[in-house]
Structure 1
Amino acid sequence: MRIFIAGASGAIGRQLVPLLVAGGHEVVGSTRSAAKAGTLRVLGAEPVVVDALDPDSVADVVAKAEPEVIVHQLTALSGRPRFRQVKAMMAAANRLRTEGTDHLLAAGHAVGVRKFVAQSNAMWMERVGGPVAGEDGRIEPHPPADVAEAVAALRHVEDSVTRITWADGIVLRYGGFYGAGTGLTGDVIADQVRKRRFPIVGGGGGVWSLVHIADAAAATVAAVERGKSGIYHVADDEPAQVCDWLPHLARALGAKPPLRVPAWCVRLLTGAGAVNMMTQARGISTETTKRELDWTPRYPDWRKGFTEELG
Structure 2
Amino acid sequence: MRIFLAGATGVIGSRLLPLLVAAGHDVAGTTRLRERAGMIERAGGSAVVVDVYDAEALTSAVVDFRPDLVMHQLTDLPDDPAEIPARAVANARIRTEGTANVLAAARAAGPARVFAQSIAWTPPGRGDAVAWHEAAVLDAGGVVVRYGQFYGSGTYYEAELPAHPRIHVDEAARRTAPLVEASPGIVVVTDPED
TM-score interval, normalised by the smaller of the two chains: over 0.9
Provide the rounded CA distance (Å) in 2 between the counterparts of 1:48 and 1:71: 14
Shift of 1:87: 4.4
Provide the rounded CA distance (Å) in 2 between the counterparts of 1:111 and 1:221: 22
> Alignment partner for residue 93 of structure 2, among 77, 92, 95?
95
* Amino acid in the other structure paired with 2:187: Y
Q: For 1:211, what is the secondary structure of its paired residue? A: strand
Equivalent residue, structure 2, for 1:230: 185
Indicate the structure with greater helix content: 1
Question: In the alignment, is the contact (CA less than 8 A) between 2:78 and 2:84 conserved in 1?
Answer: no
Equivalent residue, structure 2, for 1:170: 143
TM-score by length of 1: 0.59
> Alignment partner for residue 168 of structure 2, among 194, 199, 212?
212
Equivalent residue, structure 2, for 1:30: 30
Question: In the alignment, is the contact (CA less than 8 A) between 1:176 and 1:183 conserved in 2?
Answer: no
Equivalent residue, structure 1, for 2:20: 20
TM-score by length of 2: 0.92
* Amino acid in the other structure paired with 1:178: Y
Provide the rounded CA distance (Å) in 2 between the counterparts of 1:88 and 1:111: 35
Provide the rounded CA distance (Å) in 2 between the counterparts of 1:58 and 1:94: 19
Q: For 1:222, what is the secondary structure of its paired residue? A: helix
Provide the rounded CA distance (Å) in 1 between the counterparts of 2:172 and 2:114: 17
Equivalent residue, structure 1, for 2:157: 184
**Does residue 114 of structure 1 match 2:87?**
no
Runs of 4+ off more than 3 Å: 85-88
Equivalent residue, structure 2, for 1:65: 65
Provide the rounded CA distance (Å) in 2 between the counterparts of 1:180 and 1:116: 28
* Amino acid in the other structure paired with 2:49: V
Give CA deviations for 1:6-64 in whole Å, capped at 9, x if unaligned: 01100110110000000110110001111111111111111111111121111111111
Q: For 1:118, what is the secondary structure of its paired residue? A: strand
Give CA deviations for 1:231-266 in whole Å, capped at 9, x if unaligned: 010011113xxxxxxxxxxxxxxxxxxxxxxxxxxx
Larger Rg: 1
Provide the rounded CA distance (Å) in 1 between the counterparts of 2:76 and 2:136: 20
* Amino acid in the other structure paired with 1:61: A
Equivalent residue, structure 2, for 1:47: 47
* Amino acid in the other structure paired with 2:32: R
* Amino acid in the other structure paired with 2:172: A
Provide the rounded CA distance (Å) in 1 between the counterparts of 2:84 and 2:187: 29
Question: In the alignment, is the contact (CA less than 8 A) between 2:37 and 2:49 conserved in 1?
Answer: yes
Provide the rounded CA distance (Å) in 1 between the counterparts of 2:171 and 2:111: 26
Could you tell me which runs of 5 or more consecutive residues in structure 2 were left unpaired when the two chains were aligned. none
Instruction: Note the aligned Cα RMSD (angstroms).
Output: 2.0
Shift of 1:177: 0.5
Give CA deviations for 1:128-165 in whole Å, capped at 9, x if unaligned: xxxxxxxxxxxxxxx8xxx43x211111111001112x
Report which stretch shifted further, 8-17 or 48-57. 48-57
Could you tell me which runs of 5 or more consecutive residues in structure 1 were left unpaired when the two chains were aligned. 125-142, 199-206, 240-311
Equivalent residue, structure 1, for 2:128: 152
Shift of 1:180: 2.3
Distance 1:86 1:214, change over 3 A: closer
Percent identity between the two aligned chains: 41
Q: For 2:146, what is the secondary structure of its paired residue? A: strand
